[in-house]
Chains A and B, each alone.
Chain A
Amino acid sequence: MLVAGIDVGSRTIETLLYDGAQVVETIVTDTGSYPKENAKKAFNNLLAAASVKREDVETIVSTGYGRNYFEGADRVASEIMCHARGASYLFPNARTVIDIGGQDSKMIGLDAEGKVQKFVMNDRCAAGTGKFIELVSQSIEVPLDKMAEATVDTTESCDISSMCAVFAESEIIGLLQRGTPLDIILRGVFKSIARRTLSMAGRVGLNADVVFTGGVAQNAGVTRALEEESGVQLHVPPEPQITGALGAALVAAERN
């Protein structure tokens, strides 16, 4: 059996091949301005990388914000279902999934069988999402993949009270002008994202095991802040951004 999952997110596209037992191949690309074309391209690249033909793939499930843009899909599934499926495949004891993607964040409560019980999504702005971290990265001129590193030894933190991405940017500039060290500001940013995300916990509950997925889970600084703010240890998959695509592939395998 060979099935595929494709997660067309707001910032990146993840494609993944699964053979019923393990992940065969994954490819992550930027969504860019042409999600339709780029999703198609990403999928073709995936096939090429695994040297398989389109006909060899029995079922394709697409998910994510652009799930309907990918025309080759046999069916679509919501990203809530896919993240839940992917997370409980990787961590069978998962009861809560925190997913922070490019433009939204969500918290999903699972039952003992890994089925979705409850879920909450953030409101309609970039606050506390990957896009927010990107904006901060640009305004303080620290590359995305160096942000967590910069705060490894930092214990102090400052308050970033604005949760609006635009207001927070001017708040950060103010802090910089007052001479607040960069690493302390960054810790403040991570903590504010953590608090924002955990505000959803009241409606879903934060039952262990908690799995942290999505592109932002690659940032160890946010993971650490979430753990400190919640007092709960998080399980982060080795490639957290492909969890949705993995879940989509698992849904495809089930329907097969």
Chain B
Amino acid sequence: MQKQFDNLYGITPKSTDNPKAKQKQLFIEQEQARILSELPTRPSNISFFEEILLKRDTAKADKPLVGYFCNMVPAEIIHAMGAVPVRLDGGNNIAAITGEEILSGEICPVAKASFGIFLQEDSLASSCDLLIIPTSCDAKRKMGEVLNDFKPTFMLNLPPEQNHRMYIKQVYAEMKRLVEFLRQNLKVKLSKSALKKAIDLGRAKSSLVRRLQELRSQDPRALSIRDLFLIVQASAFGIVSPERWIEETTKVLDELKNAEPPKKSLRPRLVLTGAPIIWPNFKVLNLLEECGADIVADTVCTGAQSHFDPVVVEEKSMQSLLRALAGRYVFASICPCFISQNTRINRILELYESLSAGGVVNYSLRLCQLFDVENYRIGQVMRERNIPFFNVRTDYSLEDTEQLRVRIEAFLETL
């Protein structure tokens, strides 16, 4: 395989050793855990999932660790090649500040926070052996070049359009290239049976999240959107085997099935859409629920949406398995990085109607141009259909919490 990066001008990776920053970073996570502990109803084994996210710094795997960004990298391939996949998109404000000091202040907090954790020597990101980064935005596209000096990095080239007929060959070739990158670095060959097994486990995970989401949409307070995000994110952002995660999540599902039938609730039911909400940055979720809204469903790539589409396998040849993964991870994605994005609007409308929701909230992450510009069209489409729509634009800092609270309260009053 031809190398993606020329190391002619490679630079020595930087690292920062700032115990204060690490302390603050941990504090933010513990503070979010404390806020969650005040929820009236939680699954009895929720600490299992919370621990996975809280212990990320010290987690060491006995297998090679492959870090990746975005919801467009098939973790199944990594599993099938005997390594542990871990999603590294960052949600910590202090990590974002650390990243900003070295990289740039003018890129979105996800990129800054993701970069920030690479600067810490004992972080989970630093213990990764390899990195996979899709070219899903300009910040990530160029960050890969910087991070390649830290870890051998593979850039997964995405097509500009989700036109299956035109681009499936290209994406399939990219998948093969990814497999080759992993083979060279991990010295492991991908077998059809291992990939099939990993896909089956992935499908089992998806169906669990779908069932959880289905049940909680009837009674969103039986399982808060924040706990759902916690459960979903533990499976990708932390180190846990799919089998173990399935076991614990099945317990959550059973509890939810046996929960008492919901009492009639007057709380407004909202559909949440927009930019990724990543642990511990649950600020907007905290605010929405504290102000009295129920989030009945989401189209967020770090929420239930990340498990909405199962991988559909038609034949068992290696080619069709990889094509199935391409179909699921690239062509079914709701990311605004593609030049036309109707899938997201379709999903929002479908959720709004089928769950008799009362409105739609869009989370717009400051400095993410893709979500920001797409927000305009979504807002207009909602208004044309008389769907109450509200845009929350913010970043990871907490200083605007009270201003946001006013806006959210005012929006809820209009419903």
- CA separation between A129 and B399, bound complex, in Å? 18
CB distance from A153 to the nearest CB of B (A): 39
| List of B residues within 8 angstroms of A104 by Cβ | 403
Across-interface contacts of B410 in A (CB, < 8 A) = 78-81, 116, 119
Closest CB-CB distance, B277 to chain A, in whole Å? Answer: 20
A interface footprint on B340-371 (CB within 8 Å = 1, 0 otherwise): 00000000000000000000000000000000
B413 in contact with A121 (CB, 8 Å): no
Interface: B44 (CB within 8 A): no
Please tell me if the beta carbons of B400 and A117 are within 8 angstroms of each other in the complex. Answer: no
Contacts of B414 in A (CB 8 A): 81, 115-117
Interface residues of A in 70-117 (CB under 8 A from B): 77-81, 104, 115-117
Q: Which of the residues A115, A117, A124 comes within 8 Å of B403, measured between beta carbons?
A: A124
Q: Which residues of A contact B400 (CB under 8 A)?
A: 124
Return A167 CB to nearest CB of chain B, in Å: 18
User: Which residues of B (298-346) have their CB < 8 Å from a CB of A?
Assistant: none
> Chain A residues with Cβ under 8 A from B38's Cβ?
none
Are A124 and B413 within 8 A (Cβ)? no
Please provide the chain B residues from 377 to 415 with a CB less than 8 Å away from any CB of chain A in the complex. Answer: 399-400, 402-403, 406-407, 409-410, 413-414
CA distance A104 to B400 in the complex (A): 12
Size category of the binding interface on chain A: 10 to 19
CB neighbours of A79 from chain B (8 A): 406, 410
Q: Is the CB of A124 within 8 A of B406?
A: no
Do A116 and B413 have beta carbons less than 8 Å apart?
A: yes
* Chain A: minimal CB distance from B283 (Å): 14
Q: Report Cα–Cα, A124/B402, bound state, in Å.
A: 10
Give bound CA distance, A104 to B405, whole Å.
Answer: 14
Closest Cβ of chain B to A26, distance in Å, is 23
Report if A78-B399 is in contact (Cβ < 8 Å); known contacts: A115-B414, A117-B414: no
B399 touches A80 (CB 8 A): no
Query: B402 to chain A: which residues have CB within 8 Å?
Result: 65
For the complex, give the distance between the alpha carbons of A79 and B400 in Å. 16
In contact, A78 and B403 (Cβ under 8 angstroms): no
* A124 with B399: CB separation less than 8 A: yes
Rounded to whole angstroms, the CA-CA distance of A121 and B409 in the bound complex is: 13
A177 to B39, CA, bound (A): 59
**A77–B406 Cα gap in the complex (Å)?**
9
Contact of A77 among B399, B403, B407, B413 (CB under 8 A): B413
Q: Which of A132-157 contact B (CB under 8 A)?
A: none
Least CB separation from A103: chain B residue: B403
Write out the residue numbers on chain B whose beta carbons fall within 8 Å of the beta carbon of A119. 407, 410
Docked pose: A59 CA to B143 CA in angstroms: 57
Contact B403 A81 (CB under 8 A): no
- B413 adjacent to A80 (CB under 8 Å): yes
Complex: chain A residue closest to B376, CB-CB: A203
Q: Mark A35-77, 1 if CB is under 8 A from B, else 0.
A: 0000000000000000000000000000001000000000001
Collect the chain B residues with CB atoms within 8 Å of residue A65's CB.
402, 406
Q: Which residues of B contact A117 (CB under 8 A)?
A: 414
Cα distance A124–B400 in the bound complex, in angstroms: 7
State the CA gap A104–B402 with chains docked (Å).
12
Q: How far is the CA of A247 from the CA of B407 in the complex (A)?
A: 17
Q: B403, B406, B407: which has the most chain A beta carbons within 10 Å?
A: B406
Residue in A78, A81, A104, A121 with the greatest tally of chain B CB atoms within 10 Å: A78
Most A-side CB within 10 Å, residue of B400, B402, B407, B410: B410
Considering the chains assembled together, what is the distance between the CA atoms of A77 and B412 in angstroms?
11
Shortest distance from the beta carbon of A64 to any chain B beta carbon, whole Å: 9
B390 to chain A, nearest CB (A): 10
Closest chain B CB from A116 CB (angstroms):
5
Give bound CA distance, A154 to B403, whole Å. Answer: 37
Q: Which residues of A contact B406 (CB under 8 A)?
A: 65, 78-80, 121
Bits for A192-215, please: 1 = Cβ < 8 Å to B, else 0: 000000000000000000000000
A65 to B405, CA, bound (A): 10
Shortest Cβ gap from B143 to chain A (Å): 27
Give min CB distance, B5 to chain A, whole Å: 39
Contact partners of B407 in chain A: CB under 8 A: 80, 119, 121
In the bound assembly, the distance between CA atoms of A115 and B414 in angstroms comes to 8
- Bound complex: CA of A78 vs CA of B413, how far in Å? 8
For A77, the chain B residues whose CB sits under 8 A away are 413
The chain B residue sitting closest to A119, CB to CB, is B410
Cα(A77)–Cα(B291), bound, Å: 11
CA distance A115 to B399 in the complex (A): 30
| Chain A residues within an 8 Å CB radius of B413 | 77-78, 80-81, 116
Q: Which 6 A-B pairs have the closest CB atoms?
A: A80-B410, A78-B410, A78-B409, A116-B414, A81-B413, A124-B400
User: 28 A-B residue contacts at CB 8 Å?
Assistant: A65-B402, A65-B406, A77-B413, A78-B406, A78-B409, A78-B410, A78-B413, A79-B406, A79-B410, A80-B406, A80-B407, A80-B410, A80-B413, A81-B410, A81-B414, A104-B403, A116-B410, A116-B413, A116-B414, A117-B414, A119-B407, A119-B410, A121-B403, A121-B406, A121-B407, A124-B399, A124-B400, A124-B403
Known: A81-B413, A116-B410, A121-B406. 14 other contacts (CB 8 A): A65-B402, A78-B409, A78-B410, A78-B413, A79-B406, A80-B406, A80-B410, A80-B413, A81-B414, A104-B403, A115-B414, A117-B414, A121-B403, A121-B407
